[in-house]
A and B are shown apart, each in its own frame.
Chain A
Amino acid sequence: MRQSGIILLASFLFLISLPKLSVQDAEAIFTQATKNLVSGDIEMDMEVKTTDSKGRVKEKGFKVLVANFGDVEKMKVSWQKPERAKGTTIIITTTPNEIGVIEVYTPSNGKVRKLKATEENMKLVGSEFSMINMKMGDPKELLFTYLKSEVLNGKDCHIIDVKSKSKDATDLSKGRLWIETQSYKIVQIKVYDDKGKHITLVELSNFKPIAGIANKIQPMKMVSRDINKNKITSINILKISKPIGVSEADFVFPQRGNL
Chain B
Amino acid sequence: MIVKGKKNFLQQFYVIEIARGLGITIKNLFFAPKVTIEYPEERRKYSERFRGMHYIKATNGVENCTACMLCPTVCPAECIHIEAAERPDKEKYPVRFDIDVLRCCFCGMCEEACPKDAIKLSTIYEMSCTSRPIYDKEFLLEQRGSK
Partners in one complex: no
